[in-house]
């Protein structure tokens, strides 16, 4: 991959007429992203954060979005793997982060819909609940496909997508390294220390 310094300056503003956004990973490059490592960490963080989110939702009646915490944990896991000589790239980290946060979103969807079936006196089996959860996730993905061009491409810079932007900055900081990556880990350590107090 070519050397990058961070997100393009056009990442946070509306594009001028005729201007084309240059993504962090150019279309001319195609690094491997669908790997055992990205799947493993995505599924692992999906299980952990999905279970935590389901517990929180059932206990408090609301859930949190886990994209940013999963992105930070993915960066931490991939940095640890680099110390053992296992390389990675930003697309692997992005896929892992996406799997983990999507799993948590599906868990949130399940806890707010399936209990209604039990309130109605129905007792769906584990297989039925699993198929319903998978159908909900699949419908969400399929509905997003036609909306992508309008919501992501045409509205670039007009709709800020703060959580997606924050995840992008976390992943880019891990790729660029230096002081950018250190800030992520200092933030993680500070949050852990605050929680411990």
Q: Is there a domain that residue 4 lies in? A: no
Q: What is the value of pTM for the model shown?
A: 0.80
- For the ranges 34-48, 143-157, 170-184, the lowest mean pLDDT is seen at 170-184
d(CA 39, CA 53): 20
**Residue 149 confidence (pLDDT) above 90:** no
Q: Is there a domain that residue 144 lies in? A: no
39 touches 23 (CB < 8 A): no
Q: Where does the pLDDT of residue 16 fall: very low under 50, low under 70, confident under 90, or very high at 90 and above?
A: confident
| Per-state percent for the chain, helix, strand, coil, to nearest 5 | 70, 0, 30
Q: Give me the pLDDT at residue 3, please.
A: 53
* Nearest alpha-carbon partner for 113 in 91, 92, 140: 140
Strand ranges (E), the chain: none
Range of the domain at 70: 31-123+160-196
pLDDT in tens, 57-70: 989 988 888 898 89
Structural domains counted in the chain: 1
Q: Is there a domain that residue 141 lies in? A: no
Q: Is there a domain that residue 134 lies in? A: no
């Amino acid at each position: 991959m070519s050397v990058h310094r961070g997100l393009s300056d056009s990442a946070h503003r509306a594009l001028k007429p005729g201007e084309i956004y240059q993504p962090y990973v150019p279309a001319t490059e195609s690094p491997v992203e669908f790997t055992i490592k990205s799947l493993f960490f995505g599924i692992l963080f999906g299980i952990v954060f999905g279970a935590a989110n389901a517990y929180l939702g059932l206990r408090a009646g609301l859930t949190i979005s886990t994209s940013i915490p999963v992105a930070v944990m993915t960066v931490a896991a991939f940095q640890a793997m680099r110390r053992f000589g296992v390389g990675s790239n930003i697309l692997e980290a992005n896929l892992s982060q996406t799997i983990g946060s999507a799993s948590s979103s599906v868990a949130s969807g399940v806890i707010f819909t399936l209990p209604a079936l039990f309130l109605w006196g129905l007792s769906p089996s584990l297989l039925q609940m699993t198929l319903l959860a998978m159908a909900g996730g699949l419908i969400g993905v399929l509905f997003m496909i036609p909306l992508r061009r309008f919501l992501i491409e045409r509205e670039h810079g007009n709709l800020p997508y703060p959580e997606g932007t924050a995840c992008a900055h976390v992943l880019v900081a891990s790729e660029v390294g230096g002081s950018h990556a250190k800030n992520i880990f200092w933030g993680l350590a500070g949050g852990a220390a605050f929680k411990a107090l």
